[in-house]
Amino acid sequence: MNTSTTTVTVVGGGVIGLSVAWRAAARGWRVTVVDPDPVHGGASWLAGGMLAPVTEAWPGEEAVLSLGEASLRRWPSFARELVAEGTDPGLAEHGTIVVGFDSADAGHLDILAGYLRSLGRDVETLTGREAKRLAPGLGSVRSGLHVPGDLAVDNRKLLTALSEAATKRGVEFRRERLESLSEVSGPVILAAGAWTGQLHPLLEHAVRPLKGEILRLRPRRGCLPPPPYTVRAMVEGRPIYLVPREDGELVLGATQYEAGFDQAVTARGVRELLEGAERILPGITEYELVELAAGLRAASRDALPYIGEVSEGVYAATGHHRNGLLMAPATADAVVAWLAGEAPPPEVAAATPARLEKERV
């Protein structure tokens, strides 16, 4: 295809769509992003911004870990290129600690640590005392893990940076909802998150919304400062995370519900998050609660995204579940490689939508 005469249409202005649009435009393509509310309208804007393939890992999900790590390795250069475009991608340097409070949590951490070691990953186990030394103010922690390589990004800075960089590279934005692929010609990238299933028959039952509530807090005068690491924990079987931002904000996420396209913030969700956070960081009780929100992750059937051609010239880039921000660089690289007739990052192969065809047979 000829980059000067062909327009690439990206459906979706979240982190995946904006990353693909920016990288494709930087390679010379004319790109249009179609989204009724790009940047702010979807799950990417609400996310916690963890770039944490290792602490998200679990036995049986090796392909997710492998793709996540491949994308994390691309993150520093991805961020540097955004800086070179004159923008601030908001990449944070701090690592991640995972803490446990009771024997069930300790068992959970033991499984995770053993699994990661069996794969040769760098994990430091912590006593409760050591965890509290790393992150003063933690509650009655029994044990923990320190994963210095699991990073975080300020998702709102990132989306703003991607939008600015894309615009500088000539990307155009059509603020509307694309109803049908018949409206566009040329290559199309389907990156509409939880709504992507409505755009292509192969994805119709493969991508579904996974609701998540997330809160944003700020320490008030006299409060304990936020922890210097991303802190994760299971509280009563629910994963909770606290991600500190450079400006003092603390992101507290996230619930997970199968609730269709419902985006209401519920009393239960907020109460569970606050209770969980108080267990992790008791001093958070006096923080100001500055934002409540609920968004819809794009969940796949097997926790791996769908990245690849679904019909001629139509590429899926969706189903990233909790990992959209993490996997944006690898996803964008894969799509741009296909557009240019080049080879994608090898770890993307497992995410092929062709596995859906097999399920059909």
Q: Which of 215, 208, 199, 156 is nearest to 320 (CA)?
A: 208
Interacting residue with its own copies among 266, 303, 350, 355 (CB under 8 A): 266
* Residue 102 sits in the site that holds its own copies (CB under 8 A): no
Closest distance between its own copies and the C-beta of residue 262, in Å?
7
Cβ–Cβ under 8 Å, residues 152 and 49: yes
The DSSP result for 51-87, as a single string, is E-TTTT--TT-HHHHHHHHHHHHHHHHHHHHHHHTT-
Interacting residue with its own copies among 264, 342, 343, 357 (CB under 8 A): 264
Interface segment toward its own copies; rule CB under 8 A; list 92-100, 226-234, 235-243, 269-277: 269-277
Interface segment toward its own copies; rule CB under 8 A; list 36-44, 182-190, 263-271, 301-309: 263-271
Interacting residue with its own copies among 129, 133, 205, 271 (CB under 8 A): 271
Taking the CA atoms of 251, 257, 263 and 268 in sequence, report the sign of the dihedral they define.
Answer: negative
DSSP state for residue 315 in the 8-state scheme = E
Bridge partners of residue 297, in order along the sequence? 210
> By three-state DSSP, how is residue 37 classified?
coil
* Residue 258 sits in the site that holds its own copies (CB under 8 A): no
Residue found by looking up tokens 């699991």 in the block: 150
Binding mask 278-307 for its own copies (x = CB under 8 A): x-----xxxxxx--x---------------
**For the CA atoms of the chain, what is the radius of gyration?**
20
CA distance 123 to 109: 11
Which residue, 101 or 287, is less far from its own copies as judged by CB?
Answer: 287
Closest distance between its own copies and the C-beta of residue 278, in Å?
7
* Residue 217 sits in the site that holds its own copies (CB under 8 A): yes
* Residue 220 sits in the site that holds its own copies (CB under 8 A): yes
Q: Which residues bind its own copies (CB under 8 A)?
A: 217, 220, 262, 264-268, 270-271, 274-275, 277-278, 284-289, 292
